[in-house]
Amino acid sequence: MFHACKTQRGGGTGGVYTLPVVFHVLYNDANQNVPDSVIYSQLEVLNEDYRRLNADAVNTRDIFLPVAADCEIQFALATVDPQGNPTTGIEHITTDRTEFTLEIFSTVNTLDEVKHASTGGADAWDTEHYINVWICNITTDFPGAQIFGMSYPPSGLDNWPANSSSPTTDDDGIVVHYTTVGRNNPVSEDDGTDLNDLGRTLTHEMGHYLGLRHTWGDEFFGDLCSEDDGIDDTPLCGSGDQFECDLTANTCDDGTLDDQPDMIENYMDYNQDECYNMFTEGQKILMRYALEELRSGLLQSFGISTMKKTEQVLWPNPVADVLQIHPDWKGSDFRIHHTSGQLVQSGTLNKTEISVDDLSSGLYLIYFSKGEMTYSTRFMVHD
């Protein structure tokens, strides 16, 4: 079991971790070409969910509030590519393939073909230093089945079965079906359902990428309560909620007074997007351990800045009214974007502070540019 009390194996002292993401949009027709505005929306969803800033956090049931966690993990579009060139962190690539098919009974993951230009997909950016997300039309060879997303966990976690991690470095990353991206996706109902149109598919798959299993431990046959996710503060449950959003579910009731119901609001269940609202403290510890020990390249990446982040650039963070800026950046040009992509403030830094008291609560991106130096980071505004 991965115990939430084992603080020496997680949590760390790194504060809020900001991870660089690159989106590869593979499209064969206009519907599959997810626009940047939808990807900005998706990034906003990720940041809200992993910082517990999601509006529906108020729906977490009282019994689970003591373990509901701000994971102190957030995500930024890459601003520098592996060759050191400026980038938006989004690439749109046409493909001759109308679909990328997961062959259910194949001995290899055929969906990995989307990760290689030689098979109609797009080659990964340096997977040690960037989170690669491929957006495409996913199909299966099993009648009636639809896969919304798939990702590999890091290698070296004892809560996963052997051979669960990526078979090669170039295959590491996340694949999501184009209809599931963002909460403003104009073609979200192309897949015939409206249960997955709030951007939570990537929240779920990112959890796998950072080491989390399904809350029920992936047992579909036999004793459904015999498998677990390896985390103590997610109650034992059987086979997931299966998109029912059933608040009465208690599939592994042991008859004791302190038995807990199924945590169907957990992002690692199988559920409707509108029913998700939380990660736990135990899941936070595992994900941060995975970052510090198994995916540490993401914490050392220059993908979101060309300036090495060796000293504090802005503080306090979170902030209520005035951001203090390191003196080295006085005279730089700056711009502030909401994580939805909207530009909310820009100018030249004539002093070492920026007033943000007119910004609403939430997460923002700030970019500095001074000569050949650039820097980007995230900050949070609170009331």
Sequence ranges of the domains in the chain: 7-300, 314-381
Cα–Cα distance measured from residue 72 to residue 65, given in angstroms and rounded to the nearest whole number: 17
Q: What is the mean pLDDT of residues 148-160?
A: 96
Q: Looking at residue 5, what is its pLDDT? A: 23
Query: Between the CA of residue 28 and those of 40, 98, 137, 142, what are the distances in Å?
Result: 21, 5, 9, 22
Q: What is the mean pLDDT of residues 125-139?
A: 97
Q: Looking at residue 383, what is its pLDDT? A: 75
- Are 326 and 313 a contacting pair, CB within 8 Å? yes
Closest CA to 178 of 84, 68, 98: 98
Q: Where are the alpha helices (DSSP H) in the chain?
A: 36-50, 200-209, 281-289
Higher pLDDT, 6 or 383: 383
Q: Is it the case that residue 303 has pLDDT exceeding 70?
A: yes
Cα–Cα distance measured from residue 322 to residue 178, given in angstroms and rounded to the nearest whole number: 39
The residues facing 319 across adjacent strands are: 381
Cα–Cα distance measured from residue 68 to residue 55, given in angstroms and rounded to the nearest whole number: 14
| Interacting residues of 85 by C-beta distance below 8 A, sequence separation 6+ | none
Q: What is the mean pLDDT of residues 353-365?
A: 90
CATH of domain 314-381: 2.60.40.10
State the catalytic residues: 205
Q: Looking at residue 312, what is its pLDDT? A: 72
Share of the chain above pLDDT 70, in %: 92
Q: Looking at residue 227, what is its pLDDT? A: 83
Q: Which helix (H) or strand (E) holds 355?
A: strand 353-355
Q: Looking at residue 340, what is its pLDDT? A: 67
Q: Looking at residue 209, what is its pLDDT? A: 98
Chain centroid to CA 296: 16
The residues facing 336 across adjacent strands are: 345, 366
Q: Is it the case that residue 315 has pLDDT exceeding 70?
A: yes
Chain centroid to CA 248: 28
Q: The whole model's pTM is what?
A: 0.79
Place of tokens 């990964």: 124
Share of the chain above pLDDT 90, in %: 67
Residue 247 pLDDT grade (very low, low, confident, very high; cuts 50, 70, 90): very high
Asked if the domains at 7-300 and 314-381 fall in one CATH topology, the answer is no
- Are 31 and 187 a contacting pair, CB within 8 Å? yes
Burial of 185 (0-12, 13-18, 19+ CB in 10 A): buried
Q: Looking at residue 9, what is its pLDDT? A: 31
Q: List the single range of 1-10, 80-89, 128-137 with lowest mean pLDDT.
A: 1-10
Cα–Cα distance measured from residue 192 to residue 198, given in angstroms and rounded to the nearest whole number: 15
Q: Looking at residue 308, what is its pLDDT? A: 41
Q: What is the mean pLDDT of residues 179-205?
A: 95
| Interacting residues of 256 by C-beta distance below 8 A, sequence separation 6+ | none
**Which pair of tokens denotes residue 17?**
């971790």
Q: Give the HSE-up count for residue 254: Cα atoms under 13 Å, Cβ half-sphere.
A: 10
Q: Looking at residue 311, what is its pLDDT? A: 55
Q: Looking at residue 4, what is its pLDDT? A: 29
**Which pair of tokens denotes residue 144?**
């009636």
Q: Looking at residue 88, what is its pLDDT? A: 86
Identity of residue 23: F
Q: Is it the case that residue 358 has pLDDT exceeding 70?
A: yes
Q: Looking at residue 62, what is its pLDDT? A: 97
Q: What is the mean pLDDT of residues 298-310?
A: 68
Cα–Cα distance measured from residue 52 to residue 123, given in angstroms and rounded to the nearest whole number: 33
Residue 7 pLDDT grade (very low, low, confident, very high; cuts 50, 70, 90): very low
Q: Looking at residue 73, what is its pLDDT? A: 96
The residues facing 278 across adjacent strands are: 266
Q: Is it the case that residue 309 has pLDDT exceeding 70?
A: no
Residue 306 pLDDT grade (very low, low, confident, very high; cuts 50, 70, 90): very low
Average pLDDT in the chain: 89
Q: Is it the case that residue 310 has pLDDT exceeding 50?
A: no
| Interacting residues of 119 by C-beta distance below 8 A, sequence separation 6+ | 113
Place of tokens 């939380």: 278
Identity of residue 191: D
Q: What is the mean pLDDT of residues 110-130?
A: 97
**Which pair of tokens denotes residue 31?**
């519907």
Which fold does the domain 7-300 belong to in CATH? Collagenase (Catalytic Domain) (3.40.390)
Q: Is it the case that residue 51 has pLDDT exceeding 90?
A: yes
| Interacting residues of 369 by C-beta distance below 8 A, sequence separation 6+ | 332, 333, 334
